[in-house]
Amino acid sequence: MFRQTQDQSLRPLTTAHLAQTMSLLVLSNQELHDRVITELSSNPALELLDERICPGCHKPLSSAGPCPVCSRQVEGEEPIVFLSPRDSYRPSRKRTLEDQPLDQEPAAPEDLSVYVMRQLAADLKPEDRNVAVYILASLDEDGFLTSPPPYIAQATRSSLPQVMRVIDLIYKADPVGLATDGPRQTLLVQLDQLGEGEEPHCELARQLLRESFSELGRREYDKIALILGISPAAVKEAAAFIHDNLNPYPARAYWGSGRQPQPGDSNVYHTPDVMISRNPSVNDGPLMVEIFSSISGWLRVNPLFRQAMPEANEEQSDEWSEHLEKANLFVKCIQQRNNTMQRLMGLLVSQQSDFILEGARFLIPMTRAQIAGEIGVHESTISRAVANKSVAMPNGRIIPLAKFFDRSLSVRDRIKEIVENESKPLTDDVIASLLQEEGIKIARRTVAKYRAVEGILPARLRGARKLSQAA
DNA sequence: CTATGGCACGGATT
DNA sequence: AATCCGTGCCATAG
């Protein structure tokens, strides 16, 4: 279920066209967004429309192709589909507690306020919009408010309840706990979002945050225990729970994990370029692919500019036609890019549906070259299309698109399972022969390599770990 | 002596 | 042409 803008590729391509399509293809959607913005501001022949009006009946058009109302065909040099804000990505709340993906690669960094704003768009009343913008813009780098709510109300000429309402919405958006007055409140908000009472530690954790936050920061667990009259062990457990599941600095958060920032990690937000989801209304329904853009609206060559061309005087003429040509090229290139991405994703979901739905084990090894052959483009095109992109899977995980082409993923997954279920530590040799019986023939040395990739300790050390766990 | 990690080589992939 | 990947050989730690 994705909109296909086929047939574009039948048009003859100039070398300039090809070159630019390539350079656009490597970009992640976020980077493309920036690119479009600069192009728009430097080229008067381009325009971005909020919505597209059918030239026939003057009703807004929502998708490519003929007008649904008067079925008039809109001519071809026209716009590219950009998704409406409604389609923008919203992470599910659940993910916060799930085990964290170790496999994330740096994806497109995005301005935090833009990201949050997009989530808010649907829930926000029109009159609250500028309040939200103001608040998000004035957050400091840790994601905290820089001025108290009454001040914000004054600055935005709104009421205090209004401001509080917006702040409450921002609390709940991802990353959870933004726009608080400090780490303590952030942690409390995150605690609320985790779901009531499910966790036995929640209540105690809440109490710790409320009543002995400063002691908590200094790790004076014994002192806290004394004050609150609880066992030091319980305090430590609750502290560990907070540490593991909450993040006092929401603006430094990561996708899918409440982990604390660690040195060496890059503080990057992961916004997927593509989302694969299953239609929730239909059981076992088809997989849907959405390709995101951080711009909504329609990009096209400004028809007025085109009409004005003949009126240009001598010295303008050259410049204008250059603009026009560039604009035309740009639009076509982006169309081309979208087209390639759509066809690529279409092929991936149909061939790897087991992997998408069931997990890493079911990834069928494939190479970019194969895909290129099936689509009928050059291999380097697929390479570029795959590079720097991330995909949100139906289960909410965000993975690099390149993972689809990881030849050893399924084997590594199998090894992981073998190790998890082993009763006593198995050596690499044994694991290798086990895999052999399953028809997977790899060398012992390779098992060792995969173990390393997965962060699994060697057999000897695994033994030690189990002993200490038992004790 | 056994299990593992380092290095480097050759073939495949990009 | 550059890079990645699986593997064999060898040194080393236990």
Domain ranges across chain A: 8-84+282-353, 409-470
Query: Is the C-beta atom of A231 closer than 7 angstroms to strand B?
Result: no
Q: Find which nucleotide's C1' atom is closest to A370's CA.
A: B13
Q: Give residue A20's pLDDT.
A: 81
Query: Is the C-beta atom of A368 closer than 7 angstroms to strand B?
Result: yes
Q: Which of residues 71-100 of A touch strand B (CB under 7 A)?
A: none
Q: Give residue A305's pLDDT.
A: 85
Query: Is the C-beta atom of A369 closer than 7 angstroms to strand B?
Result: yes
CA of A363 to C1' of C5 (A): 18
Query: Is the C-beta atom of A383 closer than 7 angstroms to strand C?
Result: no
Query: Is the C-beta atom of A26 closer than 7 angstroms to strand B?
Result: no
CA of A446 to C1' of C9 (A): 14
Q: Are residues A67 and A57 in contact, defined by beta-carbon separation less than 8 angstroms?
A: yes
Q: Give residue A274's pLDDT.
A: 81
Query: Is the C-beta atom of A378 closer than 7 angstroms to strand C?
Result: no
CA of A102 to C1' of B5 (A): 22
Query: Is the C-beta atom of A33 closer than 7 angstroms to strand B?
Result: no
d(CA A295, CA A315): 34
10-residue stretch averages of pLDDT, chain A, 471 residues long: 41 70 83 81 82 60 58 49 39 29 35 73 80 81 80 86 90 82 84 67 82 76 82 80 70 39 33 71 66 67 83 80 88 85 88 89 92 92 90 75 92 91 90 92 94 89 60 45
* Chain C nucleotides with an atom closer than 7 Å to a protein C-beta: 5-9, 14
For residue A322, the Cα-to-chain-centroid distance in whole angstroms is: 36
Longest dimension (CA), chain A: 88
Residue nearest to nucleotide C6 (CA to C1'): A446
CA of A400 to C1' of C14 (A): 39
Q: Give residue A285's pLDDT.
A: 60
Residue A391, beta-bridge partner list: A274, A399
DSSP conformational letter for A453: H
CA angle A66, A67, A72 (to 5 degrees): 70
| CATH number of this structure's domain A409-470, picked from the four choices 1.10.10.10, 1.10.10.60, 1.10.150.120, 3.40.50.720 | 1.10.10.60
Residue nearest to nucleotide C8 (CA to C1'): A445
- Phi first, then psi: give them for residue A288, nearest 5 degrees: -110, 145
Question: Which burial class, exposed, middle or buried, applies to A53 when counting CB atoms under 10 A from its CB (0-12, 13-18, 19+)?
Answer: middle
Q: Give residue A259's pLDDT.
A: 29
Half-sphere exposure of A319 (CA within 13 A, CB side): 9
Q: Give residue A48's pLDDT.
A: 78
Residue A61, beta-bridge partner list: A52
